[in-house]
């Protein structure tokens, strides 16, 4: 006769189904979509920074329409992660002024590993709200 398994003492292990596993999903708050719409449609801001607080993504700060790329870069924390949407003005080859929206995932190298994982895991939930943006993953300010 076979020896009982040491971990279960011979009792059949129960298998938990995916529905039974609690999910600790990080979801965007209601004002995230509203502030993104203000930037995209009304051009009220040059950039919007988002951060994770608890189990939700909230608006951290906004930049005025006159803000520059240097001001946006300075608004990003040195050792903390953030999501951001930045509107960058460009000049096309035929001389027209236009702008492009960039969804920036700011994960500096010296941030806490737990924060890095949380921001990477929650990116999909906020990214689905911010449509029409180019993706940019930045670790250093030079990448912005």
Residue 62 lies in a domain: yes
> Average pLDDT of 102-112?
96
| Mean predicted confidence (pLDDT) in 23-28 | 81
Sign, Cα dihedral of 23, 139, 82, 28: negative
pLDDT value, residue 25: 85
When divided into structural domains, the chain yields a total of 1
Indicate which CATH number applies to the domain containing 112.
Answer: 3.40.20.10
Question: Mean pLDDT, the chain, as a whole number?
Answer: 89
Record the pTM: 0.81
Q: Give the residue-averaged pLDDT of 100-125.
A: 95
Instruction: Give the whole-number percent of the chain exceeding pLDDT 90.
Output: 82
Give one DSSP letter per residue of 72-133, joined into a string: HHHHS-SSS-EEEEEEEEEE-TTS-EEEEEEEEEE--TTS-HHHHHHHHHHHHHHHTTSTT-
């Amino acid at each position: 006769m076979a020896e009982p398994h040491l971990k279960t003492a011979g009792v059949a292990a129960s298998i938990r189904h995916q529905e039974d596993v609690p999910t600790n999903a990080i979801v965007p708050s209601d004002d995230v979509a509203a502030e993104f719409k203000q930037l995209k449609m009304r051009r009220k801001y040059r950039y919007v920074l988002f951060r994770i607080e608890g189990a939700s993504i909230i608006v951290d700060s906004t930049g005025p329409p006159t803000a520059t790329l240097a001001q946006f870069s300075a608004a990003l924390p040195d050792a903390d992660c953030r999501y951001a949407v930045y509107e960058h003005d460009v000049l096309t080859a035929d001389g027209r002024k236009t702008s492009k929206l960039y969804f920036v995932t700011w994960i500096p190298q010296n941030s806490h590993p737990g924060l890095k994982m949380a921001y990477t895991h929650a990116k999909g939930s906020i990214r689905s709200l911010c449509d029409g943006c180019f993706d940019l993953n930045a670790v250093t300010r030079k990448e912005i």
